[in-house]
């Protein structure tokens, strides 16, 4: 079965203290997005890679590809108003039987995690990588809260993987603020989502500390 991956790159990361979108910040010799693309190419050189970029930054990305002599084959699709609309646009280009959706700023996803979600999606239709919660959890406000059983909760990562027909059907559901990721959209149409193992290094870079941590992992 052929695989495709949609790599979603949002707008400017204000929490990074920069006007430069997070996915373009260089780390260990390459912009973050290039590291992320390389990871899927490493998994399978024949995989279809579709990246969703805000329209204002497509030309910047093309110039960076020239600057860094980046030659991994990929397709570009223009992002929409919300992540939901960006994925809808990207799905028009997808040709794989299994399609993954991955955050551009998770460059340390492991080959094993990618393999896990693909295998689970092949057999079960929809799969997401997760990690167990290790911290103590409480639910409520600072004034009124209750302890929660952490064994009932999981940290969700990407890539999330789906049989193409399932994800296409899910994206016929109208956009809603209550739908936060692709898995929740599949569940909203009555589908079932299965869990598989993620990897601890698969950090989503959202703060300067995350950036330093990822840099440390890459160097070590």
The CATH number of the domain where 21 resides is what? 3.90.550.10
Helices (H), strands (E): how many in the chain? 7, 12
What is the pTM (predicted TM-score) of this model?
A: 0.94
Long-range (24+ apart) CB contacts under 8 A made by 188-193 are 191/125, 191/126, 191/166, 192/124, 192/125, 192/126, 193/126, 193/127, 193/128
Name the residue with tokens 């997070």: 22
- Sequential DSSP letters for 139-185: EE-SSSEEEE-GGG-EEE-S-EEEEHHHHHHHTTSPP-TT--SHHHH
Contact 42, 110 (CB under 8 A): no
What residues form DSSP beta bridges with 22? none
CB-CB neighbours of 13 under 10 Å: 21
Tokens linked to 180:
């936060």
DSSP codes, 16-38: GTSSS-GGGSEETTEEHHHHHHH
Q: Give the count of domains, the chain.
A: 1
**Closest alpha carbon to 130 in 153, 150, 112, 108:** 153
| Whether the Cβ atoms of residue 171 and residue 108 lie closer than 8 Å to each other | no
Domain span at residue 52 reads: 3-219
* Helical pair 32-43 and 111-124, crossing angle rounded to 10 deg: 60
Q: What is the pLDDT along the chain (220 residues), one digit of tens a residue?
A: 899 999 998 755 555 666 778 899 999 999 999 999 999 999 999 999 999 999 999 999 999 999 999 999 999 999 988 999 999 999 999 999 999 999 999 999 999 999 999 999 999 999 999 999 999 999 999 999 999 999 899 999 999 999 999 999 999 999 888 878 999 999 999 999 999 999 999 999 999 999 999 999 999 8
């Amino acid at each position: 079965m052929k695989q495709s991956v949609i790599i979603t790159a949002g707008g400017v990361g204000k929490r990074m203290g920069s006007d430069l979108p997070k996915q373009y910040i260089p780390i260990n010799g390459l912009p973050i997005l290039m590291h992320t693309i390389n990871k899927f190419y490493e998994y399978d050189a024949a995989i279809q890679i579709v990246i969703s970029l805000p329209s204002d930054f497509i030309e910047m990305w093309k110039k960076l590809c020239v600057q860094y002599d980046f030659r991994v084959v990929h397709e570009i699709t223009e992002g929409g108003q919300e992540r939901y609309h960006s994925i809808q646009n990207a799905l028009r280009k997808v040709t794989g039987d299994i399609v993954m959706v991955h955050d551009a700023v998770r460059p340390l996803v492991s080959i094993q995690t990618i393999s896990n979600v693909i295998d689970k999606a092949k057999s079960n239709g929809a799969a997401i990588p997760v990690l167990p919660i290790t911290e103590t959890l409480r639910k409520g406000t600072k004034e009124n809260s209750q302890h929660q059983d952490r064994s009932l909760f999981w940290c969700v990562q990407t890539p999330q993987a789906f049989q193409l027909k399932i994800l296409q059907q899910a994206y016929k559901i109208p956009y809603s603020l209550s739908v936060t990721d692709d898995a929740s959209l599949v569940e909203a149409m009555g589908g079932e989502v299965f869990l598989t193992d993620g990897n601890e290094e698969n950090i989503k870079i959202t703060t300067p500390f995350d950036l330093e941590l990822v840099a440390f992992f890459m160097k070590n």
